[in-house]
Amino acid sequence: MCGIVGIIGTKPVADAIVEALRRLEYRGYDSAGVSTLENGRLTRARAEGKLRNLEARLSEVQLGGHTGIGHTRWATHGAPTEQNAHPHMTSKVAVVHNGIIENFQELKDDLVAYGAVFSSETDTEIIAHLITRYIEEGATPIDAARRCLKELSGAFALAILIEGQENLMIVARQGSPLAIGYGDGETFVGSDAIALAPFTNTITYLEDGDWAVLTRDGAEIRDLEDRIVNRPVQKTIATTLLVDKGNHRHFMAKEIHEQPEVVSHTLSSFADIAEARIVLPDLPVDIEKLDRLTISACGTAYYAGLIAKYWFETYAGLGVEIDIASEFRYRNVPLKSGGLSLFISQSGETADTLAALRHCKASGQKTVSVVNVPQSTMARESDAILQTLAGPEIGVASTKAFTCQLVTLACLAIGLGVKKGLIDRDRERELVNALVSVPRHMSHVLQMEDQFEDICHILSKARDVLYLGRGTAFPIALEGALKLKEISYIHAEGYAAGELKHGPIALIDENVPIVVVAPGDELYEKTHSNMQEVAARGGQIILLTDQDMEQNGLELAAKITLPPTHPLVHPLIFALPVQILAYHTAVFMGTDVDQPRNLAKSVTVE
Ligand code: F6R
């Protein structure tokens, strides 16, 4: 994950910025850079690789100046070279950026026509050029930045310096976190409170859509509609911890809100976003000859695998054998030597998944693991790993690791489809662009959080809750039920909507809320019939959908309409409302959300 730091101070800032960037190293990065305003002029030092390379560069060029921005970059658009490292700048504007600017190509085409000369392959550089253009056209620095921000589409965080403006920094947050820190005659900005801990523990977290004008005296924060807003100033304890809750009550809430950012980082490591291409690491099998895949995992990771099964079948033409690892390891599954087995695990230490991996290895299978912890046993023992970049997940209930597993598996399915000749260039572009839009849509869903409150009240009064879905919405129904039961202790079950008539319908009466996960796809009509069956028996239907479909007189207890998205990414988007429902229901019921009873984060025993 990229990291951002900025300081408007009273003494030279370059070294302090590097010190703060060091605290963001845990996020992972492959290049770094600093820019300062020295006597009103923008300067810059950047280096490939680790911060020590940047420090070596800084000892040569010695950047002065009391105002500066710094960045650790995890490559998205363009290779991890010095040229692509942030800050990006013109003679008038320097910028550091986390996230993805989706419409960068059209903005770039316009800017090139205007005469801008680009020196990197990044999406970020368009921001520096666009603000420069507006300043050249007569706008004030703040207006130029405001106009630029309105043109950007995507999920991002930014810090911007303007030539000649030593007491000014413009920052913005849309989907990627950003915190402002207050000192004595100094103001700071960072990707999280951990970066700012050496300077201050007085912090304001920006909300999505916020942008702010920083000076040495503090910050003026505006929302999406340009209204001045007051965001709470709080004391953080990040000084002593490597992970903190930010402005959230629980780690789980923080992790739910991190999803636009971590999904975008994970996507960046398996896709060339500028080219809209999948880029997979070498896999230990001959992909052209591959026709089957075996998947094992536990809990939420197993549900990620269930969703991936639909993708592997649809996009890569692969038959998939998937099982819960604790069952798989004791079955006598005939495994063809040289076949491919896939394991999915946040921790990389889950005993049953590890045992399944060892069993497959012993049977001559090639093994690939999707893991979040690259030092884990599964990562070490697999032939290849696909690392999810969710960062540390502290809440026991998995959230951001799940969506990062999904985006990784989607890339794998598309990448295999391309290699097998089943997906042509246009289709690949369409699918990758759908994945690129996910962080923006996730951020939109997170801004709808207030709409979920009434539903949580309904759920909190229930003894049993059913979740229904079809297609890839079925595993989301399973995941929704698991999330609810593990943190709120309300009994919940997920079912394939078509299974309703084969048993679970007997449970339905007016006391049973039924959460129906039904994107407006070609399966919607079928699920609608199931909802009518539920309604006829007095069940309270809570519909999660993404279109305003005709309800034909169907009575709903509640309905949430998410932004419409490409069918490929439905599970990535619909994962969020089921997490939010479980989270707020649990908070409402007063349970221990981050450490629910009887559960462990990593199940290292059978
Ligand atoms: C549920 C949850 C668990 C884990 C499962 C596997 O919210 O977190 O079901 O998904 O224990 O853990 P990992 O992914 O570490 O193998």
The two tokens of residue 412 are 């794998």
Closest residue by Cα to residue 298 from 367, 354, 255: 354
558 and 526 Cβ atoms separated by less than 8 Å: no
Q: Measured between alpha carbons, how far is 43 from 45 in angstroms, rounded to an integer?
A: 7
Q: Measured between alpha carbons, how far is 34 from 16 in angstroms, rounded to an integer?
A: 10
* Angle between helix 125-136 and helix 104-114 axes, rounded to 10 deg: 40
Best mutation site among 255, 346, 353, 396 for ligand 1 pocket (most ligand atoms within 8 Å of CB): 346
Order of strands across the sheet with 218-222? 88-89, 93-101, 154-162, 169-174, 211-215, 218-222
Compute, in angstroms, the gap from residue 432 CA to the centroid of ligand 1.
Answer: 27
Compute, in angstroms, the gap from residue 217 CA to the centroid of ligand 1.
Answer: 46
> pLDDT tens across 17-49, in order?
999 998 888 777 889 999 999 999 999 999 999
> pLDDT tens across 219-228, in order?
999 998 999 9
Query: How far from 333 is each of 240, 365, 534, CA to CA, in Å?
Result: 49, 12, 38
Compute, in angstroms, the gap from residue 464 CA to the centroid of ligand 1.
Answer: 23
Cα 374 from chain centroid (whole Å) = 18
The two tokens of residue 554 are 């169907």
207 and 194 Cβ atoms separated by less than 8 Å: no
Q: Measured between alpha carbons, how far is 386 from 280 in angstroms, rounded to an integer?
A: 9
**Domains in the chain with CATH codes:** 3-240 (3.60.20.10), 251-436 (3.40.50.10490), 449-589 (3.40.50.10490)
The two tokens of residue 316 are 């890569």
Mean pLDDT of 61-85: 90
| pLDDT higher than threshold 70 for residue 243 | no
38 and 54 Cβ atoms separated by less than 8 Å: no
φ and ψ at residue 104, rounded to 5 degrees = -65, -35
Compute, in angstroms, the gap from residue 392 CA to the centroid of ligand 1.
Answer: 14
| pLDDT higher than threshold 60 for residue 102 | yes
User: Is the CB–ligand 1 distance for residue 603 below 6 Å?
Assistant: yes
CA angle 105, 109, 115 (to 5 degrees): 140
Best mutation site among 250, 298, 399, 593 for ligand 1 pocket (most ligand atoms within 8 Å of CB): 298
Mean pLDDT of 363-392: 94
User: Is the CB–ligand 1 distance for residue 345 below 6 Å?
Assistant: yes
Beta bridge partners of 560: 544
pLDDT of residue 77: 72
Q: Measured between alpha carbons, how far is 263 from 277 in angstroms, rounded to an integer?
A: 16
Give, for 501, the enclosing helix (H) or strand (E): none
pLDDT of residue 241: 52
3-state helix, strand, coil in the chain (%, to 5): 40, 25, 40
pLDDT band for position 242 (50/70/90)? low
> pLDDT tens across 126-151, in order?
999 999 999 999 999 999 999 999 99
Q: Measured between alpha carbons, how far is 116 from 93 in angstroms, rounded to an integer?
A: 13
pLDDT of residue 343: 98
CA angle 465, 470, 474 (to 5 degrees): 55
Residue position matching structure tokens 């039924």: 514
171 and 158 Cβ atoms separated by less than 8 Å: yes
Q: Measured between alpha carbons, how far is 329 from 359 in angstroms, rounded to an integer?
A: 7
DSSP 3-state assignment of 319?
A: strand
| pLDDT higher than threshold 80 for residue 600 | no
342 and 386 Cβ atoms separated by less than 8 Å: no
> pLDDT tens across 104-122, in order?
999 999 999 999 999 998 9
Number of residues written out for the chain = 606
Compute, in angstroms, the gap from residue 301 CA to the centroid of ligand 1.
Answer: 6
Identify the DSSP state of 175: B
Q: Measured between alpha carbons, how far is 384 from 411 in angstroms, rounded to an integer?
A: 15
**For residue 228, with 0-12 CB atoms within 10 Å meaning exposed, 13-18 middle and 19 or more buried, which class applies?**
exposed
Active site residue: 361, 419, 559, 601, which one?
A: 601
> pLDDT tens across 463-498, in order?
999 999 999 999 999 999 999 999 999 999 999 999
Closest residue by Cα to residue 166 from 43, 41, 33, 16: 41
User: Is the CB–ligand 1 distance for residue 347 below 6 Å?
Assistant: yes
pLDDT band for position 240 (50/70/90)? very low
Mean pLDDT of 412-441: 97
User: Is the CB–ligand 1 distance for residue 595 below 6 Å?
Assistant: no
Mean pLDDT of 59-67: 94
> pLDDT tens across 344-366, in order?
999 999 989 999 999 999 999 99
Query: How far from 217 is each of 118, 187, 344, CA to CA, in Å?
Result: 34, 7, 48
> pLDDT tens across 252-299, in order?
999 999 999 999 999 999 999 889 999 999 999 999 999 999 999 999
Identify the DSSP state of 365: -
pLDDT band for position 177 (50/70/90)? confident
pLDDT of residue 75: 79
Q: Measured between alpha carbons, how far is 117 from 508 in angstroms, rounded to an integer?
A: 64
324 vs 192, higher pLDDT: 324
Active site residue: 2, 148, 360, 456, which one?
A: 2
In the chain, the amino acid numbered 436 is: V
Best mutation site among 250, 300, 399, 402 for ligand 1 pocket (most ligand atoms within 8 Å of CB): 300
The share of the chain scoring above pLDDT 90, in percent, equals 80
> pLDDT tens across 245-263, in order?
878 999 999 999 999 999 9
Query: How far from 405 is each of 49, 384, 401, CA to CA, in Å?
Result: 26, 15, 6
| pLDDT higher than threshold 70 for residue 591 | yes
pLDDT band for position 548 (50/70/90)? confident
Instruction: List the residue whose alpha carbon is closest to atom 7 of ligand 1.
Output: 397
357 and 369 Cβ atoms separated by less than 8 Å: yes
| pLDDT higher than threshold 90 for residue 420 | yes
The two tokens of residue 79 are 């290779």
Closest residue by Cα to residue 274 from 93, 114, 75, 567: 75
| pLDDT higher than threshold 90 for residue 238 | no
Residue position matching structure tokens 């942030």: 86
CA-based Rg of the chain, rounded to a whole angstrom?
25
Q: Measured between alpha carbons, how far is 174 from 169 in angstroms, rounded to an integer?
A: 17
Closest residue by Cα to residue 513 from 495, 483, 492, 487: 492
Is 601 tagged catalytic?
yes
| Average pLDDT across the chain, whole number | 93
Compute, in angstroms, the gap from residue 496 CA to the centroid of ligand 1.
Answer: 21
The share of the chain scoring above pLDDT 70, in percent, equals 98
